[in-house]
Amino acid sequence: MNYPIKIDPPDIERYRRGNSGVDFVHVLDSGKPGPSVMIQALTHGNEFCGAIALDVLFKQNIFPSKGKLTLAFANVAAFARFDRDDPDRARYIDEDYNRVWGDDVLLGTRDSAELRRARELRPFVDAADLLLDLHSMHEPCRPIMVCARSEKSVALARRMGAPADLLLDTGHPAGLRMMERGAFADPASPRAAVLIECGQHWAKSSVDVAIDTCNRFLNTVGVLDRPSQQFPKIEQRVIRVTEPVVAKTPGFRFASPWKGLEVVKEAGSLVATDDGKEWRTPYDHCIMVMPSMRHLKPGTTMVRLGRYD
Ligand SMILES: [Zn+2]
């Protein structure tokens, strides 16, 4: 299913020359002690609601009154080839930028467009105490705050007060995400990362969610010299992913056109078929987490199964 593109890719060329020595990375330094905070957009080049949100922050001339604030556009090369007639082509050039963050890959000898960019960004990521990574989804689905396997990310998301659905997952077999890198995944470290899935890639509501999430994040981490804003808190629930559904063959098909966050009442309900194999819900009230047929190939996670805490 193709969804309409209701938002325009922002002109980010004006942000190419930052002050950090790396293109499209801006480090706003108060010169005073405080946390090092980072917001990243365009981890996936086809997910530009977050880039629009950063554009808004730049235009507001925000500046930290303590600590440092790093604003980064990540996979700009992939974003640059965005084409309304083939929008998914802008997702990445060679490989998924958000699967290369393990030291074995990042510090290894393998080369790709995404690895080169990740190696440029690594010093900023490794210096960040608190990280917000802005994403969107192929299917129209309520926003989800991805917290990896980290309870401290859940705690950060609760301080932000939105969105309603917080996700503890099991990672991706294909590789480590930025938010799982190093101390972000160490329960003993205070460093924490969250990843927001704002909604459908090109829905206007996803831009609103991205902007709201940035504001809530900045409010929570407290680096800006502006009156602390009051954001309405909504009831938040944690979804624990118990297992991924990974395609084994190109014949993988969902049993229903899942969009995400559906709750399947009964255990044993058919989720998908895959060349004769059946996937069924392992328990009652099973939640479909971020289903997508978009990137079907053997070894790809097609949907994750979870339940509310
Ligand atoms: Zn993404």
Taking the centre of ligand 1 as the mean of its atom positions, its distance from the CA of residue 85, in whole angstroms, is 20
Pick from 216, 250, 219: nearest CA to 236: 216
- CA 46 – CA 68 distance, rounded (Å): 28
CB 178 within 8 A of CB 44: no
Determine the average pLDDT of the residues in 283-295: 93
Task: Tell me: pLDDT of 228 over 70.
Answer: no
Q: Region 241-264: what's the mean pLDDT? A: 96
Say which residues have a Cβ less than 8 Å from residue 264's Cβ, sequence separation at least 6. Answer: 271, 281, 285, 286, 287, 288
Average pLDDT, the chain: 95
Instruction: Give the Å distance between the CA of 201 and the centre of ligand 1.
Output: 9
Nearest residue to 86 via CA among 52, 45, 135, 43:
45
Q: How remote is the CA of residue 47 from the centroid of ligand 1, in Å? A: 6
| pLDDT for 227 | 65
Percent of the chain at pLDDT > 70 equals 99
Percent of the chain with pLDDT over 90: 91
Task: Quote the ligand 1 centre to 100 CA distance (angstroms).
Answer: 14
pLDDT one-digit tens code per residue, 45-58: 999 999 999 999 99
Write the burial class of residue 153 (CB in 10 Å: 0-12 exposed, 13-18 middle, 19+ buried).
Answer: buried
In this prediction the pTM is 0.96
Question: How far apart are alpha carbons 291 and 304 in whole angstroms?
Answer: 7
* pLDDT given for residue 225 in this prediction: 76
If you average pLDDT over residues 274-288, what whole number do you get?
Answer: 97
- Strand order in 130-137's β-sheet? 25-29, 68-73, 36-41, 130-137, 192-200, 144-146, 165-168, 237-246, 301-308, 286-289, 263-264
CA of 98 to the centre of ligand 1 (A): 8
pLDDT at 229 over 80: no
Between the CA of 144 and the centroid of ligand 1 the distance, in Å, is 12
Q: How far is the CA of 134 from the centre of ligand 1 (A)?
A: 8
